[in-house]
Amino acid sequence: MGAVTITVLVPDDDGMAALGEVDGLRPVRYTVGEPLPDEAAGAEVLIPGPGLAQQAGPVLAGLPRLRLIQLLSAGAEAWIDILPPGVLLSTCRGAHGGSTAEWVVAVLLSMYRELDSFVQAHRDGRWAPHGTDTLQGKRVLVVGAGDVGRQLRRKLEPFDVRVTMVGFSAREGVHAVDDLPGLLGAADVVVLLVPLTSRTRGMVDSEFLAAMPDGAVLVNAARGPVVDTDALCSELSAGRLRAALDVTDPEPLPEGHPLWTVPGLVLTPHVAGAVRGSRARSYAVVVAELRRYVDGELPENLVHGEY
């Protein structure tokens, strides 16, 4: 090793610094929205920058030797339908799981301990003590048993929460997604952590929501289109369910949309993973993936078949 063998197109200076330390790689800086550098003709790996998927056509056409697209995000839905034949796609799974799981815990604690009411009383100059609910003892159904789901379970269990995991297929400690109809009725909280695919788009429809018990909380830290927004708005408007959303459909949420005003909703603008150090964690995963690629191995986070 040591000789530069693989050219990687990198969208930022952080990536240039991180990948410059990897033997066998030649990082080349590019800027989204500007013409590709001359070295792109020989690039074998592309790390997309923000917004690149929306203008991928001419970019991909200028990469005749492209063999791998390595994402900085865990979600790959923007690239599935535009991936050129023969090109591998690897996600950044493992980089943002901790911060996303932390967001879920934060919103649940805020909702059950009614922190918004105490903040408002503070602003009004009122001393307004009252009892609240608690996260302790709640039954949480985690739909999505990947990295984020596993990290969330570890963070919830110290609160004496009873966690049930659901994945696409059954395995030890994990129910299959086909078991959902029989599990929803016993859940105080349902957390969505699934990728957006043809199987999960619209998964949470009116029937799914109707199966949740009165007073339950739906938490979506996955992708907006996993949930039927109209069906959720109906349940929230009726006051039967509550929800915490970091993602919406549509996104960004337009002015005047019902989600701005429905009761029982905690809403954040797709920031669950937007924390200090997130870029460094992303590139730590990317470096590990590309080291495997340089060594002739397949990246661990490859997207296979129906993502």
Is residue 157 flagged as an active site residue? no
- The C-alpha atoms of residue 305 and residue 298 are separated, in whole angstroms, by 15
Angle at CA of residue 223, ends 152 and 198, nearest 5°: 115
Q: Catalytic: which of 162, 201, 270, 292?
A: 270
Q: Catalytic: which of 251, 257, 291, 292?
A: 251
Is residue 175 flagged as an active site residue? no
What do you get for the CA distance between the two ends of the chain, in Å? 33
Task: Compute and round to an integer the Cα radius of gyration of the chain.
Answer: 22
* Residue whose structure tokens are 């917004």: 51
Is residue 114 flagged as an active site residue? no
Q: How far is CA 58 from CA 24, 27, 64, 85, 110, in A?
A: 27, 21, 11, 16, 45
Q: Catalytic: which of 26, 153, 223, 242?
A: 223
Residues marked active site are found at: 223, 251, 270
